[in-house]
């Protein structure tokens, strides 16, 4: 008997969502046939049959969650005995759209006769969750003027969690992300579900949101997310890590993020939604445009202007007074000694004059 195990799609996400199940017990498969499709926040993966045979058991359901290493199919050389490994009924197989539930919890819910349609959306349903509160969703904390949610659940969101914990003025309610992650928390902060949760949170009184997406691959994505949240009605607090240095004469606009070890010098300005990442130095009289991103280790000399949406790579240094145009991209370790035009590209390690 061949036992097919769920692969590890990401070292940071040991659980994946089952987006499709393509075979049934008793079905004959050939090498390369598609068995199921799994997804995490970073990857989608087609699980294929490595050898031919007959499906004896299907141990996952569409819409459920599966942990890497768990057996998800059993395939034998001969057809199964009549009735053995028979597929569950259509009613049992159906997991409502938006419901995130682990495979053990799904089995327990059916054993307990719990209607899947009555389970709450926006949180990962586990066995413990069903046993502790079988009659309704968990009670969410009340909202106040300091409550905030993070949009995103990856590495940039982790940095923001630590930045928020370094100072006490904002209270993190949780995170939302698309697609809704399979994991229940990030560094102990609850994952509340997908972006559809945002409108519900706003209705409950939440008014502040933080964009937890770095946007390296697609810088304009951050601007789009700010617009989406602003349409709901959210405001955007600036986040400044307790170990960042921001001079009293500097100005930091709403939605900006300044991380540990960064320095924002005298009379400098960091624009709306801009990022000054770990260890970046913004010298006196610099102007960082809206949605611009200074990645770790950037060093800007005085009076540098970085315009809207520009992305400045790790370890970049500049001369005094240069201008980096809107949506330009500066490669890692480049040296910028002259103005870069809008949407210009400077190769990594190059010297731009």
Alpha-carbon span 330 to 343, nearest angstrom: 10
8 Å CB contact between 312 and 292: yes
Dmax over Cα atoms in the chain, in whole Å? 79
- Would the pTM count as exceeding 0.85? no
Domain with CATH 2.160.10.10 in the chain: 238-353
- In the three-class reduction of DSSP (H, G, I as helix; E, B as strand; rest coil), residue 175 is classed as strand
Both tokens of 110, joined, read 């059916």
The answer, yes or no, to whether the previous bond of 179 is cis (omega within 30 of 0) is yes
Report H helices in the chain. 90-93, 103-112, 127-132, 155-165, 197-203, 220-232
Question: Taking the alpha carbons of 74, 80, 84, 90 in that order, is the dihedral positive or negative?
Answer: positive
Q: What is the pLDDT of residues 205-230, one digit of tens each?
A: 999 999 999 877 677 889 999 999 99
Among the listed ranges 2-6, 98-102, 217-221, which one has the minimum average pLDDT value?
A: 98-102
Q: What is the pLDDT of residue 288?
A: 98
Q: What is the pLDDT of residues 45-76, one digit of tens each?
A: 889 998 899 998 888 888 777 877 888 998 98
Residue 103: C-alpha distances to residues 31, 95, 173, 203 (Å): 26, 11, 27, 32
Q: What is the Cα Rg of the chain in Å?
A: 25
Both tokens of 290, joined, read 């809206």
Domain with CATH 2.40.50.100 in the chain: 2-94
Alpha-carbon span 29 to 34, nearest angstrom: 9
Q: What is the pLDDT of residue 102?
A: 76
- Fold exhibited by the domain 2-94: OB fold (Dihydrolipoamide Acetyltransferase, E2P) (2.40.50)
Q: What is the pLDDT of residue 298?
A: 97
More confident call, 166 vs 104: 166
Domain with CATH 3.40.50.20 in the chain: 147-232
SS (H, E, C) 239-308: EECCCCEECCCCEECCCCEECCCCEECCCCEECCCCEECCCCEECCCCEECCCCEECCCCEECCCCEECC
Query: Among 226, 232, 182, 180, which Cα is nearest to 202's?
Result: 232
Q: Name the class of domain 238-353.
A: mainly beta
Per-residue pLDDT band for 312 (boundaries 50, 70, 90) equals very high
Query: Among 81, 57, 82, which Cα is nearest to 4's?
Result: 57
Q: Name the class of domain 147-232.
A: alpha beta
Q: What is the pLDDT of residues 135-153, one digit of tens each?
A: 433 445 567 888 999 999 9
Q: What is the pLDDT of residue 120?
A: 64
């Amino acid at each position: 008997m061949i036992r097919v195990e769920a692969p590890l799609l990401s070292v940071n996400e040991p659980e994946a969502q089952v987006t499709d199940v393509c075979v049934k017990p008793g079905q004959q498969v050939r090498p390369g046939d598609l068995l199921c499709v799994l997804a995490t926040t970073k990857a989608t993966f087609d699980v294929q049959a490595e050898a031919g045979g007959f499906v004896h058991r299907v141990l996952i359901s569409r819409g459920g969650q599966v942990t890497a290493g768990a057996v998800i199919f059993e395939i034998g050389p001969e057809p199964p005995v009549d009735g053995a490994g028979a597929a569950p009924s259509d009613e049992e197989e159906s997991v409502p759209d938006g419901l995130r539930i682990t495979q053990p919890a799904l089995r327990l819910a059916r054993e307990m006769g719990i209607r899947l349609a009555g389970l709450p959306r926006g949180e990962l349903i586990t066995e413990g969750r069903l046993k502790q509160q079988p009659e309704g969703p968990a009670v969410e904390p009340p909202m106040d003027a300091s409550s905030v949610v993070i949009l995103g659940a990856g590495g940039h969101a982790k940095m923001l969690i630590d930045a928020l914990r370094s100072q006490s003025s904002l209270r993190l309610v949780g995170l939302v992300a698309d697609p809704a992650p399979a994991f229940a928390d990030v560094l102990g902060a609850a994952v509340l579900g997908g972006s559809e949760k945002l409108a519900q949170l706003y209705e409950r009184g939440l008014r502040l949101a933080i964009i937890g997406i770095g946007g390296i691959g697609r810088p304009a994505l951050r601007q789009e997310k700010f617009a989406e949240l602003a349409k709901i009605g959210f405001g955007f607090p600036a986040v400044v890590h307790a170990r960042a240095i921001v001079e009293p004469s500097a100005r930091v606009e709403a939605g900006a993020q300044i991380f540990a070890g960064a320095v924002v010098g005298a009379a400098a300005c960091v624009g709306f939604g801009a990022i000054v990442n770990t260890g970046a130095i913004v010298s006196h009289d610099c102007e960082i445009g809206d949605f611009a991103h200074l990645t770790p280790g950037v060093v800007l000399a005085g009076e540098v202007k970085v315009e809207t949406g520009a992305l400045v790579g790790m370890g970049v240094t500049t001369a005094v007074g240069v201008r980096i145009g809107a949506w330009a991209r500066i490669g890692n370790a480049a040296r910028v000694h002259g103005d870069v035009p809008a949407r210009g590209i400077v190769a990594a390690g190059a010297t731009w004059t």
